[in-house]
Amino acid sequence: MDPITLGLVALIALTVMLMSGIRIAFATAITGFIGLWILRGYVPAASLASTIPQGHLSAYTLLVLPLFIMMGFFAFYAGITKDLYWAARQWVGHLPGGLAIATIFGSAGFAAASGASTASAAVMGRIALPELKKYGYDDKVSTGCVAAGGTLATMIPPSVLMVIYGFIAEESIGALLLAGILPGLLEAFSYSVMLIIRFKINPELGPPIRGITWGDRIKSIKGVWGMVVLVILVMGTIYSGIATPTEAAAVGAFGALCLALPRLTFKTFRDAMVETARSTAMIFAIIAGVLIFVHFLGFTGMPAAVSESIVTLDMHPTVILICILAMYLVLGMFLDGIGMLLLTVPIILPTVKELGIDPIVFGVLVVRMVEIGLITPPVGLNVYILKGVAPNVTMGDMFKGCGWFVFVDLINVAILIAFPAIILIIPETMIR
């Protein structure tokens, strides 16, 4: 069997294993090791399988992941999320669909402290859904807002997926984090515009909140100023070049701890540290398994063959890019975001570079497509997470509620493809 055929067989075997429910970390490690064994022999395969993960996972740049995760958990256990949501409620609650819009901006605020989409959906679900239910908002709209709002955490820094993409692509993690700011804000504002239009057309979806005074609005700022300063401090040090992303993440984690101290108990502190360790271990296990598999694919020559076959197509680079992004839309229905990036980017990125597409632009677009996969059936992870928070709402209604947000997401992707300067304007001006 020639190496490329072996690579195709391995991909099919991996797909079957994942469909059968085997965890991606184990499925990729087993498939990659067996492939290396066939290609290189047992001893070289065992040596590579033991040294490759250790060599990559000990990289200093990956320290940014547990630090940003820790920052998010401190923000959650300190109750900062409730303050952010309440402030958004006071400022935009009077608009048509105001409480739904507040959910979006509350999610955007929490996204600036947490890079995990599923965590954002779970937290905002507990906070926002009871309030939306209290005011009689439509269940589909309510759950759609929370699930789609959670995807902002994968775009607005600190984003775990951006860090992982930067690690794989060997691009500046700081530039990638900054590149997600404007697309993330565009996403939040476009969601809000869509909601205003929908509630204008059909006010029965939910009422605006009446009786909010300017005094209420000013008072609500008290609960969020610390988080705003923290986010500016973290991203500002990266932008100005004062600190590396890892150093900025350490500042963020320490700052979040300081903000949390007035409300933090020993139990919540312990819970934050345990959840940080658990989340970090899960991510690192996935990275380790996929690294073994990706190195096996490298020995087969498959990435180079795929790149050569795509580049020789008589098609405009933008058309090829759209086809690649459409592939991610399909993959997102079956794979989690971290696994998807780790499995596909090493194969596709050489092609993207050959086509003259900026790797940072491609990274933001891919993360956007991964976001969409989080709220589309059959495996929309944010919707499944939300089902545990809202057991009385059917999965079908939840996915229907996400439909409008997916439509807006696709429009936003088209805008970013047409105007990539939106992605690059901030990172191109950063001090490196």
Counting residues of the chain whose pLDDT is more than 90, the rounded percentage is 37
In terms of Cα–Cα distance, which of 141, 84, 77 is closest to 111? 84
Domain ranges, residue 282 = 3-429
**Confidence (pLDDT) at 48:** 87
Q: Is the pLDDT of residue 432 over 70?
A: no
Q: How confident is the model at residue 29 (pLDDT cuts 50, 70, 90)?
A: very high
Q: Is the pLDDT of residue 311 over 80?
A: no
Average pLDDT over residues 43-53: 88
* Tally of domains in the chain: 1
Give the pLDDT confidence of 115-157 residue by residue, as tens digits: 778 888 888 888 899 999 999 999 999 999 999 999 999 899 8
The structure's pTM equals 0.88
**Confidence (pLDDT) at 191:** 96
**Confidence (pLDDT) at 179:** 95
Residue with tokens 């775009």, as numbered in its chain = 155
Average pLDDT over residues 39-68: 86
Give the pLDDT confidence of 155-168 residue by residue, as tens digits: 998 888 999 999 88
Q: For residue 39, count other CB atoms closer than 10 A to its CB.
A: 16
Average pLDDT over residues 332-353: 82
> Exposed e or buried b for every residue in 5-17, given b needs 16+ CB within 10 A?
ebbeebbeebeeb
CB–CB of 114/150 below 8 Å? no
Q: How confident is the model at residue 180 (pLDDT cuts 50, 70, 90)?
A: very high
